[in-house]
Amino acid sequence: MSFSNVAIIGLGLQGGSIGLAVQAYLPGVRTTGYDADPVTRIRARERGLVHEVCETATDAVKTCDLVIFCVPPSAMGAAAREAAPALPKDALVSDVGSCKQSIAASLAEALPGYTIIPAHPVAGTEHSGPDAGFASLFRNRWCIITPPEPTDLLKLSALVAFWETLGANVEIMDAEHHDLVLAVTSHLPHLIAYTIVGTASDLENVTESEVIKYSAGGFRDFTRIAASDPTMWRDVFLANREAVLTMLQRFTEDLTALQRAIRVGDDKTLFDHFTRTRAIRRSIIEEGQDDERPDFGRSDHEA
Ligand code: NAP
């Protein structure tokens, strides 16, 4: 099976990118969309993010065979309840939320009896809203699909094919494992970036202009992550609380070990640790998940 009518609820970075990608790579598929924000709906029409931007969630889903919820994690349940009265019983329900266990539970509670197969495209930028989306967002990025047990295998393979056509590499994973992996690869780095940028701006003996002026020393790359959408990240930390706290505990222990190595002058521990982390960076580049050019390929090499 394949999908012919895709409804997208939430027309920001993720929803807009899916809408544009479907039009680019699946030209026979019709897309409808809805966003709670009327200004976003106007902008979505202007940019042509989907074929038809509807004024209600029920209008957007009434003829769909796949609905993808692209709203912040805390809004998934409410968005699903709003669409429920018109959602065809055989439509596949999916989403793009950054944490999977709590969102799967919200969708299942809001839409009893529906086939729900959650997904998470590990693709994003620090920008949000209807102007942020672009068709190639998912190309050569991973999309993790977390089907519940048991699942509808026909619908699962159609969802895998859908994401592959949009350019993603698909991985099937248990939702609990997804939340743990993403806690360390995405959620913790964001928490560290939010912390370090906050710490620098709170320092009394370093001026804000100095922080900005000398940011190329490494701080600048944290500021890009720390510019990410506050609503979404507040939701992610609360929705994936347990896994984030587990990883934070582990991180704190490792940080304390490095702190000790610095204090006692343990050069071998520091050198070995930094050598190991450098190898991880090399693997990420070899897998095509980042740019190996100096300074991440920025055109102006001012750093
Ligand atoms: P976004 O750009 O802020 O877009 C979300 C849109 O959903 C906003 O326009 C929002 O309107 C709207 N919305 C909120 N509640 C709604 C409702 N009940 N019904 C309809 N629309 C509603 O956010 P995004 O970056 O696309 O993120 C969407 C989802 O993708 C999140 O669950 C996030 O975890 C996941 N995700 C994000 C990234 C990333 O890098 N950004 C990566 C992977 C996955 P308002 O602005 O008025 O609230």
Query: Tens of pLDDT along 4-48?
Result: 999 999 999 999 999 999 999 999 999 999 999 999 999 999 999
Which tokens in the block code for residue 196?
């370090």
Ligand 1: nearest atom to the Cα of 231: 3
Q: Which helix (H) or strand (E) holds 101?
A: helix 101-110
Residue 106's SS3 state is helix
0.85 exceeded by pTM: yes
DSSP percent split of the chain into helix, strand, coil, nearest 5? 55, 10, 35
Taking CA atoms only, the protein residue closest to ligand 1 atom 11 is 37
**54 CA → ligand 1 middle, Å:** 17
**8 CA → ligand 1 middle, Å:** 11
**pLDDT tens-digit profile of 189-206?**
999 999 999 998 888 788
Mean pLDDT over the full length of the chain: 94
**214 CA → ligand 1 middle, Å:** 33
CA angle 35, 36, 37 (to 5 degrees): 90
Q: Does residue 129 line the site of ligand 1, with CB under 6 A? A: yes
Predicted local confidence at residue 290, as pLDDT: 83
Residue 215 reports pLDDT greater than 90: no
Which domains, and CATH codes, for the chain? 5-173 (3.40.50.720), 177-265 (1.10.3660.10)
Q: Compute the distance between CA of residue 82 and CA of residue 54 in angstroms, rounded to an integer.
A: 13
Residues in contact with 108: Cβ distance below 8 Å, sequence separation at least 6, in sequence order = 116, 148
Q: Does residue 148 line the site of ligand 1, with CB under 6 A? A: no
**44 CA → ligand 1 middle, Å:** 13
**183 CA → ligand 1 middle, Å:** 19
Q: Does residue 124 line the site of ligand 1, with CB under 6 A? A: yes
Res. 164 pLDDT band, cuts 50 70 90:
very high
| Residue 35 · residue 15 · CB < 8 Å | yes
Q: Does residue 72 line the site of ligand 1, with CB under 6 A? A: yes
Q: Does residue 103 line the site of ligand 1, with CB under 6 A? A: no
Res. 55 pLDDT band, cuts 50 70 90:
very high
Q: Determine which of 56-60, 202-206, 246-250 has the lowest per-residue pLDDT on average.
A: 202-206
**pLDDT tens-digit profile of 93-113?**
999 999 999 999 999 999 999
Predicted local confidence at residue 302, as pLDDT: 40
Predicted local confidence at residue 298, as pLDDT: 61
| Residue 40 · residue 61 · CB < 8 Å | no
| Residue 160 · residue 19 · CB < 8 Å | no
CA angle 282, 283, 288 (to 5 degrees): 100
Mean pLDDT of 230-253: 96
**99 CA → ligand 1 middle, Å:** 13
CA angle 49, 120, 167 (to 5 degrees): 60
Q: Does residue 78 line the site of ligand 1, with CB under 6 A? A: yes
Q: Compute the distance between CA of residue 14 and CA of residue 257 in angstroms, rounded to an integer.
A: 39
Q: Does residue 71 line the site of ligand 1, with CB under 6 A? A: yes
Predicted local confidence at residue 303, as pLDDT: 33
